[in-house]
Amino acid sequence: MGGSISPLLRIALLALIALAAYVTAPRAAELRGSGDLGIVVERAKGRVQVIETTGRTRLATVEGLGDLSHASAVFSRDQRYAYVFGRDGGLTKVDLLEAKIAGRVIQGGNSIGGAISQDGKLVAVSNYKPGGVKVFSSETLELVADIPAIDADGAQSKTVGLVDAPGQRFVFSLYDGGEIWIADFSQGNTPKITKFRDVGKQPYDALVTDDGRYYIAGLFGEDGMAMLDLWAPEKGVRRILDGYGKGEEKLPVYKMPHLEGWARAGEQIFLPAIGHHELLVLDPATWSEVGRIKVHGQPVFAVARPDGRQVWVNFAHPLNDTVQVIDVPSQKIIREFKPGKAVLHLEFTPRGEQVWISVRDVGVVEVYDTETFAKIAELPADKPSGIFLSARAHRTGL
pLDDT of residue 143: 98
Rounded-to-integer distance, Cα 69 and Cα 112, Å: 10
Average pLDDT over residues 313-342: 96
Are 286 and 328 in contact by the 8 Å Cβ rule? The answer is no
Q: Is residue 55 part of a domain?
A: no
Angle at the Cα of 138 (from 34 to 344), degrees rounded to 5? 60
pLDDT (tens digit per residue) in 42-54: 998 999 999 999 9
Average pLDDT over residues 281-289: 92
Q: Is residue 74 part of a domain?
A: no
pLDDT (tens digit per residue) in 91-128: 999 999 999 999 999 998 888 899 999 999 999 999 99
Instruction: Tell me the H-state helices in the chain.
Output: 7-24
pLDDT of residue 256: 52
Backbone angles phi, psi at 51, to 5 degrees: -125, 160
Q: At residue 384, what is the residue type? A: P
> Could you give the number of structural domains in the chain?
1
Q: Is residue 215 part of a domain?
A: yes
pLDDT of residue 251: 52
pLDDT of residue 27: 41
Q: Is residue 133 part of a domain?
A: yes
Average pLDDT over residues 349-355: 97
Average pLDDT over residues 263-274: 86
Q: How confident is the model at residue 8 (pLDDT cuts 50, 70, 90)?
A: low
pLDDT of residue 28: 41
Would you tell me how many other CB atoms lie within 10 Å of the CB of residue 307? 14
Q: Residues 250, 254, 255, 261: is their CA dihedral positive or negative?
A: negative
Q: Which residue has the higher pLDDT, 326 or 112?
A: 326
Q: Does the pLDDT value for residue 63 go beyond 80?
A: yes
pLDDT of residue 22: 43
pLDDT (tens digit per residue) in 65-91: 999 988 999 999 999 999 999 999 999
Q: Tell me the whole-structure pTM to 2 decimals.
A: 0.89
Rounded-to-integer distance, Cα 355 and Cα 118, Å: 26
Q: Does the pLDDT value for residue 393 go beyond 80?
A: yes
Least confident of 91-95, 165-169, 208-212, 346-350: 208-212
Domain range for 168: 107-243
Beta bridge partners of residue 95, listed in sequence order: 81, 100
Q: Which residue has the higher pLDDT, 153 or 26?
A: 153
Q: Is residue 87 part of a domain?
A: no
DSSP state of 353: S
pLDDT of residue 245: 61
CATH number at 148 reads 2.130.10.10
Q: Does the pLDDT value for residue 16 go beyond 90?
A: no
Half-sphere exposure of 65 (CA within 13 A, CB side): 35
pLDDT of residue 220: 85
pLDDT of residue 375: 97
Rounded-to-integer distance, Cα 383 and Cα 361, Å: 6
pLDDT averaged over every residue in the chain: 90
Rounded-to-integer distance, Cα 325 and Cα 327, Å: 7
Q: Which residue has the higher pLDDT, 373 or 223?
A: 373
Q: At residue 86, what is the residue type? A: G
Q: Does the pLDDT value for residue 20 go beyond 70?
A: no
Beta bridge partners of residue 133, listed in sequence order: 126, 147
Q: Is residue 183 part of a domain?
A: yes
Q: Is residue 330 part of a domain?
A: no
pLDDT (tens digit per residue) in 207-263: 999 899 999 998 888 878 899 999 999 999 999 988 766 555 555 554 555 666 678
Rounded-to-integer distance, Cα 54 and Cα 306, Å: 17
Q: How confident is the model at residue 275 (pLDDT cuts 50, 70, 90)?
A: confident
